[in-house]
Amino acid sequence: MLSCPGCGSTKTWKDGLRYNHSGDPTQRWLCRSCGYRFSESKVKVNVSSQSLEGLNSESNLFDTNVAKGDFPIKQGFDPLSFQRREDVASHVSSRGTVAEKSLNTFGDYNRNRRVCASEAKAAKNLVEVETRQKQPAGGTEIDEASVKGKIVEFLWYMKKENYAESTIQRYVKEIERLAKRGANILDPESVKEVITKQEWCDNRKAQVYWVYDLFLRMLGKTWEMPRIRLQQKIGFCPTEKTLNQAIAGFGKKVSIMIQLIKEVGCRSSEADHMKWSQINFDTQKITIIPEKSSNPRVEKVSKDLLGRIKTLPKINE
């Protein structure tokens, strides 16, 4: 991999070919660190038939005409031979005989060399885009390790505060989602900006605000929560026919869960965390252990449901 003649970085990649007036290809390169575009090609200089004397002096190498003779050709590439950030690949004269000579045999070159304006602009835009991608909303830098550490700390904070496991998982996912969408979770203003840009309903945004408010409480910080008007909605209640269609259409495990929810009216999380010890096959009753602040209860279920439950593998007691 070539080194960038501008900054010395080895983060370079091939960026197409450039052809001179004779149709000879020249490999072009682009530096991912500074955005500088350069070529690996050999410099083409005009050699006239005119002989010059005193070629031992280095100053003669800068003359327009170079004496006819054999030049030592080196195929290697030496990044130190570039004295300036210039692309010299295609700027050759159409007059006279052309001979190739590697850049590292010259201390400098006498032509006014430059990068094409469109190429320079494209490289500059590439660097600017990469820079913006590293910047979160609000313009402050994010320490990824610090963010991950705070999320883990938030998880244990909720465990110590005796939050339900399902609540902990949901809250942690909300904080992770904010971080993935570019918010600096340690900066309330950055979080506000990201939430505002989301195409969420007001109720959805309010839930995220409450989660982040708890996160700030864990950090010992306060903020001014944005004003939001909650919308009252009527909950969806499927008909028995719809539930029966779902029970018949889903796989065994999901259909059994739906049938259990239908017969005892429990939450999906309560059905998902149910243990074998909660089921009494003799009395056809199931004990419901609440996930939230509701009361525990015992409900009777059908023989059909118990028969289907027996077909499930026993993975807990």
CA distances in angstroms from 17 to 29, 34, 89, 116, 130, listed in the order given: 9, 20, 10, 14, 24
Q: Are residues 167 and 119 in the same domain?
A: no
Q: Are residues 252 and 214 in the same domain?
A: no
187 versus 138: the higher-pLDDT residue is 187
In this structure, of 2-11, 123-132, 259-268, the range with the lowest mean pLDDT score is 123-132
Q: Are residues 101 and 27 in the same domain?
A: yes
pTM exceeds cut of 0.85: no
Q: Are residues 177 and 278 in the same domain?
A: no
Percentage of the chain beyond pLDDT 90 is 38
173 in a domain, yes or no? yes
Burial (CB < 10 A; 0-12, 13-18, 19+), residue 299, is middle
In this structure, of 12-26, 129-143, 252-266, the range with the lowest mean pLDDT score is 129-143
CA distance 181 to 200: 14
Q: Are residues 212 and 278 in the same domain?
A: no
CA distance 190 to 209: 13
Residues in the chain: 317
Tell me how far the alpha carbon of residue 125 is from its chain's centroid.
19
Counting the structural domains of the chain, the total is: 3
246 in a domain, yes or no? yes
55 in a domain, yes or no? yes
Residue 179 in tokens:
């971080």
| Average pLDDT score over residue span 241-261 | 92
Of the residues 127, 157, 186, which one is the last residue of a structural domain?
Answer: 127
Tell me how far the alpha carbon of residue 29 is from its chain's centroid.
25
Q: Are residues 173 and 266 in the same domain?
A: no
295 in a domain, yes or no? yes
Q: Are residues 251 and 212 in the same domain?
A: no
CA distance 37 to 28: 7
Amino acid symbol at 6: G
Alpha helices by DSSP H, listed for 50-187, are 117-133, 144-160, 165-180
Question: Mind listing the pLDDT tens digit for each residue in 201-244?
Answer: 999 999 999 999 999 999 999 999 998 888 787 878 889 899 99
Of the residues 187, 219, 251, which one is the last residue of a structural domain?
Answer: 219
74 versus 311: the higher-pLDDT residue is 311
| Cα 287-290-296 angle, rounded to 5 deg | 50
CA distance 108 to 105: 9
Q: Are residues 73 and 118 in the same domain?
A: yes
pLDDT band at 142 (very low <50, low <70, confident <90, very high): low
What does the pLDDT read at residue 120?
A: 52
Q: Are residues 61 and 109 in the same domain?
A: yes
What does the pLDDT read at residue 55?
A: 45
231 in a domain, yes or no? no
Question: Mind listing the pLDDT tens digit for each residue in 16-68?
Answer: 887 777 778 888 888 888 878 888 755 444 444 444 444 444 444 444 444 44
Of the residues 155, 186, 219, which one is the last residue of a structural domain?
Answer: 219
Q: Are residues 35 and 106 in the same domain?
A: yes
Which domain, by its residues, includes 186? 144-219
Q: Are residues 117 and 153 in the same domain?
A: no
189 in a domain, yes or no? yes
49 in a domain, yes or no? yes
136 in a domain, yes or no? no
Q: Are residues 21 and 90 in the same domain?
A: yes
